[in-house]
Every structure is written in structure tokens, then in C-alpha cells.
Structure 1
Amino acid sequence: MFSAFAFSIFQKSIDTYHIKDDVYQDFTNPYPKDDVEHLLYRKNWIDTVQWHYEDIIRDPEIDPVAALDLKRKIDASNQDRTDLVEYIDSYFLQKYQSVQVKDDATINTESPAWAIDRLSILALKIYHMQEEVDRTDASQEHVDKCSVKLAVLQEQKKDLSSAIDQLLADIEAGNKYMKVYKQMKMYNDDELNPVLRGQKG
């Protein structure tokens, strides 16, 4: 199933990141550029780095200049994340381009790649909640609460994985069809963001 395949790649990315656990570490993709594994690994690496950006920027003692620099890194990361989702959807569009779509086929509320995006984030939540469960310096109450949350996340993983695999099966069978809208981010565009537009010239 594609969801299990993707999740295993997300886990590899997360595990590799946490060897150094440094947002500024070099990135190396172990998969060939033309393979979907390459896209999935890169996608999760972006999510993982941004997860830790979000931790750092919440430091109440952070230097304001450093915070502004980090905010811009987060903005750039969000754009990279969106781009990767679109690349993954392009993979599925190409994969299913010859499918005969049935007359009564319906469209899904989100594309396969946006569902996979949620699975990538969920892999991070599970990893970090497991870290909390495994802490030896935390109270038993904390560990117990995190164990309950971890069980919910595992259930969510099961449900989301099932939904992704069902969606892909429905697309492959012609019961559903894909329609991908390129993200129209307005805040990075100097023609659409009035603040940036005002700085032109």
C-alpha cells in the first residue's frame, strides 16, 4: 500500500535528521531524483526542519533579529512544502493519466498529495510524542498523558493511511478523478501583496 511505503520513507527522513538534530545541517537525498521516493523524502525533510524552526521561534528569549530571520526561513519552507506537494500530485497525475474515468466519478475534497502531506506531519507528531513517552526525566503523569495522545495519533495514522490507499484505489479504478489547483500564494507575490507592491520602484 502506498501509505505504508510513504510512511517508511518519512520515518527514514526523521531518523536521519535526528542523528544531528540541527536545522542547519546539510541535506542529502538518498533516492534517485526521478523516483517518487526522492519527492517523499525531500517533502518530509522540509516538514522536519520546519517543525524545529517552529520550536526555536517560540523561545521567549529569542533575539528579535534572529526571530525575523527565522520567520523568513519558515515562509520559504512553506513555499518549498507547497511546491513538493504539487510535484507529488504531478507524479500521480502522470501515473493515472490513462485511467478511463467513469461517468459518475466524483472528485475528492483534497488531492492525494495533500493527504500525504498530512501523513508526513503525522509521522513527526508520532515521533515526538514517542520521545515524550520515553523520557526518563518526566513525571509519570506526563508520560501517561503522552501515552494516551500517542495512542490517538496511532489510530489517526491507521485511519488516514486507509483513506489515502482507498482514494488511490478509487482513482485507479476510475471512481474518482484528480483535479489539481496550483497554489495561489498571495503573500509572496509583489503584485498581489499590497505591502510588497508598495515597495516596488
Structure 2
Amino acid sequence: MHKLDIMFSELANKIFLEVIVKYHVINTVDQEFSNPYKKDKHLLEHLLYRKCWIDTVQWHYEDIIRDPQIDPVAALTLKRKIDASNQDRTDMVEYVDSYFLDKYKAVSVNKDATINTESPAWGVDRLSILALKVYHMNEETTRVNATEAHREACAIKLNILLEQRVDLSTAIDQLLVDISAGRKYMKVYKQMKMYNDDELNPVLRGEK
């Protein structure tokens, strides 16, 4: 049993909070990105940091594009950025899964081993989004220009999100322990998204 398997969610949640706090220092979607974790020395941390940064920027893209007064041209430009961000997000999930595939490649899989409904990295994807929900819901519980009823309602929602994070963290850690022990095995499918492909999307290949 690997120590990292047990502590993985703690590491991930710590890095996700680092990312979100760092983003909100400047709090603009066009700020420069810098990864404090070196790819050659701290690969997992590097991937987790990059993954959550993509999610954090996209979170704020989604806020901006819902402005009812947004200029249509600006909205289209932003929609393209969201599309690109979604592709980056999917790519990062696959990079994280590749890390785990390599990490556990020597594990002897039990004959009765089962496959999980999702890969470890898709659990990580949900954990990263959950970190953003927790951060922003917590902000709403202390927002001074909101009503007391609003803050109380958000406090109830925050408690549910925190419970959900404990459950999801536990499930991811257990999955990694099971994979490392051969009780579960990984089988990762590429997303094969069609709408970004020049050959698979009929609009991109010029068909009407």
C-alpha cells in the first residue's frame, strides 16, 4: 500500500486551494499562469495545479458569459475560449490518468478484480470543481451586501458541499488503494470528442 494512495485527496485538496487563492489575488481571467511545481520533480503536483487552474479560469469564464448585457461579439469570443478550455480540461484529465497508469503498471491484478465506473482522474476532475464550489459558497456566507437569509441559506449549502468533499475524497483514496492492491484495475478510454475534429464535425469539414 502506497502512502500517497492514502494521502492523495489531502494533497489534491491542498493544491486546489493554493490555486484558487492564487487566482483570486488578481482575480482576472487573462492573468499570467505560472506553475510553482516543476514537471520533472513534482509531476503529480504539477498536473493537479495545472488542472485546477484551468477549472478556475473556466469557472469565471462561465460567470462572465452569463452577463445579460454582454456584447454578442465578445460573447462569441468568450465561447471560443470556453471551448478551448474544455479541451484543455479533458486533456489534463487524460494526463493525470496517464500518471496513474504508469504508477500502477507493475501491479499484479487479481483474477476477480473489477473496473470502476470512472477513472481516478475523472474523480479528480469532480474534486477540483468541488473545491471551487466550496470556495465561492463560503464567500457567499460572509458577503456583507447580501441578506441574512441569503447567508444562512448558503451556509447550509456549504455544509453539504463540505460533506460531499469528504465523501468524494474518501472514495478517490479508496479507489487508488484498491488499484494498488490489484482489487481494481484501470482502463482508460480517450474522450474522442467529435465537435473539435476537422474530419468528424460536418460543419468544420465544410458540409452544410
TM-score by length of 1: 0.98
Correspondence 1:107 to 2:115: yes
* Higher mean C-alpha deviation, range 31-40 or range 41-50: 31-40
> For residue 27 of structure 1, what is the aligned residue in structure 2?
33
1:139 corresponds to: 147
Q: Does 1:123 align with 2:98?
A: no
Give the whole-Å Cα distance in 2 for the aligned partners of 1:134 and 1:20: 20
Structure 1 residue aligned with 2:66: 58
Deviation string for 1:49-97 (max 9, x for gaps)? 0000000000000000000000000000000000000000000001001
| Matches of 1:135 and 1:60, distance apart in 2 | 23
* Displaced runs of 4 or more, over 4 A: none
Counterpart amino acid of 1:101? V
Specify which of 88, 95, 108 is matched with residue 96 of structure 2. Answer: 88
1:171 paired with 2:179, answer yes
CA distance in 1, matches of 2:11, 2:39: 17
- Amino acid in structure 1 at the alignment position of 2:109: V
Could you tell me the percent identity over the aligned residues?
Answer: 72
| Post-superposition offset of 1:16 | 0.2
Structure 1 Cα separation of the partners of residues 170 and 32 of structure 2: 34
| TM-score normalised by the chain length of structure 2 | 0.95
Structure 1 position 183, deviation (Å): 1.1
2:79 maps to 1:71: yes
Cα deviation, residue 148, structure 1: 0.4
> Alignment partner of 2:117: what SS?
coil
- Structure 2 gap segments, 5+ residues each: 1-6
Q: How far apart are the structure 2 equivalents of 1:159 and 1:175?
A: 20
Q: Whole-Å Cα distance in 1 between the matches of residues 147 and 87 of structure 2?
A: 39
1:198 shift after superposition: 1.3
1:8 corresponding residue in structure 2: 14
Separation (CA, whole Å) in 1 of partners of 2:167 and 2:176 = 14
- Using the TM superposition, give the Cα deviation of residue 156 of structure 1 relative to its aligned residue in structure 2, in angstroms: 0.2
Provide the C-alpha distance between the structure 2 equivalents of 1:106 and 1:142, rounded to a whole number of angstroms: 45
2:176 partner letter: L
Moved more, 59-68 or 32-41: 32-41
Separation (CA, whole Å) in 2 of partners of 1:60 and 1:135: 23
